[in-house]
Amino acid sequence: METRKVQQTGGSTYIISLPKTWADKVGIQTGSRVSLQPQPDGKLVIDPIHDAPPIRRIQIDVSGRMGDALTRDMIAAYLAGSDIIEVKADRIVAEQKNVIRGMCYKLIGPEIIEETAKKVVIQDLLNPDEISIKKSVRRMYLISNSMHMDAIKAIKTLDSDLALDVDQRDDDVDRLFLLIAKQFRSILRGARLPDAAETSIDEYHDLRMAAGPIERIADHARKIAKITGYLEGPIPDDIMEMIEKTSEISRKIVEDSIDALYNFDVDLANQVIDRVEKLSPMINKLNGVILKLDTYGSVVALGTVVDSIDRTADYGSNIAEIAINSAMTKDI
């Protein structure tokens, strides 16, 4: 760490010198412009302004890479924050191109701009300045909450079309989650905060942490919806009523945990955590009733539903704990 002494010039202007090593590294010369961004915590971020920022490029050799391995490579390249991703091989087969196209669909920003037998060039067209992490996390919550509601409705009405719609919406949550992860990694490498005027680096970290549980809540909503195809008939009314009641409590726990996170409300966050503990006896009672059903398939299917409802509440508790940590950090 280098230190500088603040000096005064002209009677009202404070000045400091910039470290030469850093200035050379980022291309600052006499006459260069920099942006000054005050942070909510009192820090001041100095960011060089370049007329044409350098294009970040990464190359991936996908020779012999298929299926999930290729998918993981594509996600890793995306999270690395490259502007251009070049996928190369002696010959890129049709199966590989299908995976590449599928990943471009599932990610926010990347588009294929060039394609040959040996190369696929992907460019990230997203302007990060237009994306607010607060809005992205809120959007993740809204989608996952609607997924959970519709999943419960799907198993109640045996609506396979609604269940399929829930399954497809999970992709939207995953896209937002990966975008948030990409932005956070970029910030750790020194990139400018997209919404620095209203979000500190600590808040960015906490929102990134909260995005994880929300993504898993969506996964469990998808899991509930998939049970629709395994049910041999309507769920008994008394059991369905108990499922709906525990589901509503679980969703309310998540909703309040999100409110606590965004409003730095420690009291509400603690109430959320207490409510999760009170939900356990209801979950145990519901599991006991399900075990008395005649068919093994129904026991397993509905047991999965109850487990996902329980886990959703647990993830709400995780978000509430993040909210408490975030509120304490804000007061420092």
- Least confident interval from 127-136, 178-187, 238-247, 286-295: 127-136
Distances (CA, A) of 133 to 183, 184, 188, 200: 8, 9, 15, 11
pTM: 0.81
Question: Which is more confident, 53 or 141?
Answer: 141
Residue 30 confidence (pLDDT): 84
Instruction: Tell whether the model's pLDDT for residue 195 goes beyond 70.
Output: no
Mean pLDDT over residues 157-184, rounded?
Answer: 93
Q: How confident is the model at residue 196 (pLDDT cuts 50, 70, 90)?
A: low
Residue 274 confidence (pLDDT): 94
Residue 51 confidence (pLDDT): 62
Instruction: Tell whether the model's pLDDT for residue 42 goes beyond 70.
Output: yes
Instruction: Tell whether the model's pLDDT for residue 178 goes beyond 80.
Output: yes
Residue 253 confidence (pLDDT): 97
- Least confident interval from 7-16, 140-149, 221-230: 7-16
Task: Report the alpha-carbon angle 52-136-184, nearest 5.
Answer: 55
Instruction: Tell whether the model's pLDDT for residue 31 goes beyond 90.
Output: no
Residue 82 confidence (pLDDT): 81
- Least confident interval from 2-6, 52-56, 210-214, 281-285: 52-56
The radius of gyration of the chain from alpha carbons, rounded to an integer in Å, stands at 25
Instruction: Tell whether the model's pLDDT for residue 287 goes beyond 90.
Output: yes
Mean pLDDT over residues 39-66, rounded?
Answer: 78
Question: Which is more confident, 48 or 207?
Answer: 207
Mean pLDDT over residues 158-181, rounded?
Answer: 94
Contacts of 54 (CB under 8 A, 6+ apart): none
Question: Which is more confident, 314 or 48?
Answer: 314
What CA–CA distance (Å, rounded) separates 19 from 34?
A: 14
Mean of all residue pLDDT scores within the chain: 88
CA nearest to 221, candidates 304, 322, 303, 281: 304
Q: How confident is the model at residue 332 (pLDDT cuts 50, 70, 90)?
A: low
Instruction: Tell whether the model's pLDDT for residue 10 goes beyond 80.
Output: no
Q: Are strands 57-61 and 84-88 parallel, antiparallel or unpaired?
A: parallel
Instruction: Tell whether the model's pLDDT for residue 137 goes beyond 80.
Output: yes
Instruction: Tell whether the model's pLDDT for residue 56 goes beyond 90.
Output: no
Mean pLDDT over residues 90-111, rounded?
Answer: 89
Q: What percent of the chain has pLDDT over 90?
A: 53
Q: What is the pLDDT of residues 57-73, one digit of tens each?
A: 888 898 888 888 999 98
Q: How confident is the model at residue 127 (pLDDT cuts 50, 70, 90)?
A: confident
Q: How confident is the model at residue 41 (pLDDT cuts 50, 70, 90)?
A: low
